[in-house]
Structure 1
Amino acid sequence: MGSMKFSANLGFLWNDRPLPDAIRVAKDAGFDAVECHWPYADLASEVKAALEQTGLKMLGLNTSRGSVSDGENGLSALPGREEEARAAIDQAVQYATEISAGAIHVMAGNSSGPRARSAFIENLAYACEKAGSNITILIEPLNHYNAPGYFLSTVEQAADIIREAARPNLKMMFDFYHVQIMGGDVTRRFEANLPVIGHVQIASVPDRGSPDHGELDYSFTLRRVRELGWARPIGAEYLPANGPVPDLAWLASFED
């Protein structure tokens, strides 16, 4: 599996420390890039300095979930909340621009139906315009166990929205963990949607642990991903088994 590149998702890995510290640890651990969830508590200038110091790129970050205490999980597919949704997009674009992040995952939120879909598409059009040509806007189908009620749950639904929105910088985040839970057949669905995939993530199924056990055989799956021409870093977005310091034995198995 030589030459596979991996990105440490610092939303889950080393998430007990400030983001700049986590970036440095990820570099020392041998990761090729980093990504995060909500970096807003850390100063963009300090994050940028850590990225420059390590030479790592921040592949992506998420828009704010809204009111987490009220169970919110994004704002962009919530009809009537456009003003807040666009403020969250503005915040993400500004932060991403300051740290030269490659992508922004625009979180849809908990909703359903045609009005939610229209709101989502309009907010995504806004995000794509705001982001310009240097930042990719990503949408991610989430499984209904981890994210019950989330607007976007399947790869096919995401592909449909991307087609309708028709923006060159709108892509799909293809997380094998979520895709396996929401229907499986992961390598065929990856291949079918490859033109609209902007980032790939992995974790074991069903425990969302390190990608070396469970239902999916990543030694096969990632080989197929590479055969299909995917050369960019794969996001390691998994929950470490014993606290925030991850077991990285799996990483060595993908090296030459």
Structure 2
Amino acid sequence: MTFSANLGFLFTDRPLPDAIRAAKAAGFAAVECHFPYEVPPEQVKAALDETGLPMLGLNTVRGNVKAGDFGIAALPGREAEARAAITQAVEYATAIGARAVHVMAGKSGGAAEAEATYRGNLRFACDAAEARGLSILIEPINHRDAPGYHLSRVEHATEIIEALGRDSLRIMFDCYHTQIMQGDLTERFRAHLPLIGHVQIAAVPDRGEPDEGEIHYPRLIAAMRDIGYAGAIGAEYRPRHGDTEAGLSWLSQFS
């Protein structure tokens, strides 16, 4: 099984290029990140080239974090800002050779106007990504951690993708968020597999290492493979004790 280290949460005690090297040393076969924009892309690309690890994806910026923003693509009236963030992400992804951009919707409260705004911005994102050979990911995020987040159900993500009809648009199936909001992970994954572009894991409910809690990941990931998923599994969890290396024993369950 191929696991990707999400460097938004793992190895955060060091600069991003060194986190990439640490992921390689720990045995990960790929990396992904959240918001790498303060690091010159040539430094990230050099670390990726050195280690041979692919960068699977990165996020658009959250917006005004101090004001509570958690993405802006579904916020009416902020289309110009959202599209600038998409352009920034696509250009950075291209510069480092990343494969996908996750467009963060934001906390809209679910209004109809927000849905129209989101779909319009996703069309823009798909146009930009397809010109560069990238994919666009949308991720249902739970309302416990992000109250009012516009996209919280896998079925909603599927509705959007089918309505837009873009092959470059896929679902980020985060098992942590989906278990909290909906559950029934195996059958929900089976039903939506053709539209799933990436998978992420973390323990529920504490979002720690995927070795305890409500989800038995060895069984779930084996089922995903049997269903037909051939992509990487993104380790997007918060180390319980702050030290990424000290909590990596869970990887041995899949060796």
Task: Please report the TM-score for the alignment, with normalisation by the length of structure 2.
Answer: 0.97
Say what the alpha-carbon RMSD is for the aligned residues.
0.8
Instruction: Tell me the residue number matched to 1:151.
Output: 150
| Partner-residue secondary structure (3-state), 1:253 | helix
Match for 1:17: what amino acid?
R
Q: Is the 8 A contact 1:60 1:102 kept in 2?
A: yes
Q: Deviations over 1:102-141 (max 9, x none)?
A: 1000000110211100000000000000011621100000
1:116 corresponds, among 104, 114, 117, to 114
2:101 is equivalent to residue 104 of structure 1: yes
2:241 is equivalent to residue 242 of structure 1: yes
| Partner-residue secondary structure (3-state), 2:187 | helix
Choose 142-151 or 239-248, whichever is displaced more.
239-248
Instruction: Tell me the residue number matched to 2:177.
Output: 178
Q: Is the 8 A contact 1:177 1:208 kept in 2?
A: yes
Instruction: Tell me the residue number matched to 1:162.
Output: 161
Match for 1:55: what amino acid?
G
Instruction: Tell me the residue number matched to 2:66.
Output: 69
Instruction: Tell me the residue number matched to 1:18.
Output: 15
Structure 1 residue 93: deviation in Å? 0.4
Match for 1:174: what amino acid?
F
Instruction: Report how many aligned residue pairs link the two structures.
Output: 252
Query: Residues of 2 paired with 1:126 and 1:179: CA distance?
Result: 27
Instruction: Tell me the residue number matched to 1:125.
Output: 123
> Structure 1 pair 244/63, CA: closer, same or farther in 2 (3 Å)?
farther
Instruction: Tell me the residue number matched to 2:232.
Output: 233
Choose 242-251 or 64-73, whichever is displaced more.
242-251
| Partner-residue secondary structure (3-state), 2:136 | strand
Q: Deviations over 1:3-45 (max 9, x none)?
A: x110000000011211100000000000000000000011100
| Partner-residue secondary structure (3-state), 1:34 | strand
Structure 1 residue 95: deviation in Å? 0.2
2:46 is equivalent to residue 49 of structure 1: yes
Match for 1:117: what amino acid?
E
Q: Deviations over 1:206-232 (max 9, x none)?
A: 000111100001111000011112122
Choose 131-140 or 190-199, whichever is displaced more.
131-140
Higher relative contact order (CA 8 A, sep 6+): 1
Q: Deviations over 1:51-74 (max 9, x none)?
A: 000000000000000000001011
Q: Is the 8 A contact 1:12 1:244 kept in 2?
A: no
Q: Is the 8 A contact 1:15 1:244 kept in 2?
A: no
Instruction: Tell me the residue number matched to 1:86.
Output: 83
Match for 1:251: what amino acid?
L
Structure 1: gaps spanning 5 or more residues? none
Query: Residues of 1 paired with 2:95 and 2:243: CA distance?
Result: 27
Q: Deviations over 1:59-108 (max 9, x none)?
A: 00000000000010111000110000000000000000001101000000
Q: Is the 8 A contact 1:78 1:120 kept in 2?
A: yes
Instruction: Tell me the residue number matched to 1:188.
Output: 187
Instruction: Tell me the residue number matched to 1:252.
Output: 252
Structure 1 residue 245: deviation in Å? 2.3
Query: Residues of 1 paired with 2:243 and 2:191: CA distance?
Result: 35
Query: Residues of 1 paired with 2:219 and 2:99: CA distance?
Result: 27
Match for 2:158: what amino acid?
A
Match for 1:231: what amino acid?
A
2:10 is equivalent to residue 6 of structure 1: no
Structure 1 residue 244: deviation in Å? 4.2
Structure 1 residue 178: deviation in Å? 0.5
Structure 1 residue 160: deviation in Å? 0.7
Task: Please report the TM-score for the alignment, with normalisation by the length of structure 1.
Answer: 0.97
